[in-house]
A and B are shown apart, each in its own frame.
Chain A
Amino acid sequence: MSEALGPYLFILLAGTLATDIWRWLGVLVGARLREDSDLLLWVKAVATALVAAVIGNLIFAPSGALAEVPLAIRLGAAACGYLAFWLARKNVLIGVLAAEAALIAAASIFAGT
């Protein structure tokens, strides 16, 4: 790792290969899927649930600066955003802005910063 190229090889191996291998496998599997098939619907449902699990973890157990914000505020702000998204007839931008406003407001009031 002390060599200049070490970290880049590390990223290529543990980052690029580790992610692209799933994409390549996906291309091979997807080539056999028909657009209107039940199998494709199941594959899409699994993909959606996996992404949703990532979302849940990013809210519930985040890393970095977001971890400093208390869990209750993160959950409350996410709920605010989702509610606003629904009330605004599925407007993504309004949902995101509402969640962010709730997070920043609650964190600055309760954390006293």
Chain B
Amino acid sequence: MGKAAPGAALRVLHGSHALSGSLFINLRLAAIQGWMGERQTAARWFLRGMGGVASVPALILIGSFIGFGVLCRESGLSLGEAMFMTAFVWALPSQVVLVGAIATGSSALVAAIAVTLSAIRLMPMTAAWVPLVRAQGTPRWQLLVLSHFVAVTAWVWGFMRLPDVPRERRAVCFAGFGVTLTLINVAVTAISFIGAAALPPLLAGALFFLTPIYFLTALSASARYHAERLALGLGVVLGPALHAYDVGLHLLWAGLVGGTLAFIGHKLIHRRGGAI
């Protein structure tokens, strides 16, 4: 609607030929209205993204972050460090690795290497996310800023919800979801850190268990291709298998080998004429 207004004004201009003063003012008014309408629509989609926080994925992530706050407390971090980590790292498995490195007194270099390895998955995830959120003419810097909010929950949520959002509104909708989810979880980290002592160990363990079970079922539910289902099954087995054999970079190998085998499997199934 906001976009149509300047177009209509231009048609009037084109039809009349005479650029009278009042018409010129009308044209400018229409342009301003169009700009404001554009702003309103963007704000509406941002709010819709915020509303996405009231969803199962977001609630489960909040449960997982309760476990993280407790872990930070147990590992001797300060409240400020725990909150800072949630806001500025925003990748739960990597945060767990980082807390582990800090708790064992690793140097910054060793910690950085461990976290870098744990976060490799973010690269293909973000690469697959870019064609989902970008529209014609989405600036590169917007994608670079927004990419900070790419983590499993927002990724899964994005692939479930964004296909139903008009393409030019996907980035702003994702921003609404990502920013809100991050801020809420910074608060959750703080609250659970403060209340950690009151939490029985079994409950803390159960909260930690939320993350893997949720990731497993949500990825299963959002998988559209054989390649993704096969990759899920192979990765779940290959991860611990390579880890148990203490293969360095085991996550990377599990991803590359599992993903490539899944891709080949997908192609073979298609060659035999199977459905998607």
List residues of A whose CB falls within 8 A of some B CB.
7-8, 10-27, 29-31, 33-35, 38, 40-69, 74, 77-78, 81-82, 85, 90, 92-93, 95-96, 99-100, 103-104, 107-108, 111, 113
A63 to B234, CA, bound (A): 22
With known contacts A11-B85, A64-B74, A93-B56, A45–B266 Cβ distance under 8 A = yes
- Chain B residues close to A by CB (< 8 Å): 56-57, 60, 67, 70-71, 74, 77-78, 80-81, 84-85, 88-91, 93-96, 98, 100-102, 108, 111-112, 115-116, 118-132, 134, 140, 143-144, 147-148, 150, 152, 201-202, 204-221, 223, 225, 227-228, 230-240, 242-244, 250-252, 254-260, 262-263, 266
Report whether B208 and A66 are in contact in the complex, using a CB–CB cutoff of 8 Å.
yes
Q: Once the chains bind, are B235 and A12 in contact (CB under 8 Å)? A: no
User: B115's contact among A18, A61, A69, by CB below 8 Å, is which?
Assistant: A18
A-B CB contact pairs (8 Å), 23 listed: A8-B84, A22-B119, A22-B122, A23-B123, A29-B123, A33-B128, A45-B228, A47-B128, A49-B234, A50-B120, A50-B252, A50-B258, A51-B121, A51-B219, A52-B216, A52-B235, A56-B236, A56-B237, A67-B205, A68-B202, A69-B209, A78-B212, A104-B202
**What is the interface of chain A mostly: helix, strand, loop, or mixed?**
helix
Pick the contact of A41 from B122, B204, B227, B257 — CB < 8 Å? B227
Given A92-B217, A111-B202, 19 extra CB contacts under 8 A: A14-B101, A19-B90, A22-B120, A22-B126, A26-B124, A26-B129, A27-B144, A44-B124, A44-B231, A46-B231, A47-B255, A52-B234, A53-B235, A53-B236, A53-B239, A81-B213, A81-B216, A92-B218, A95-B213
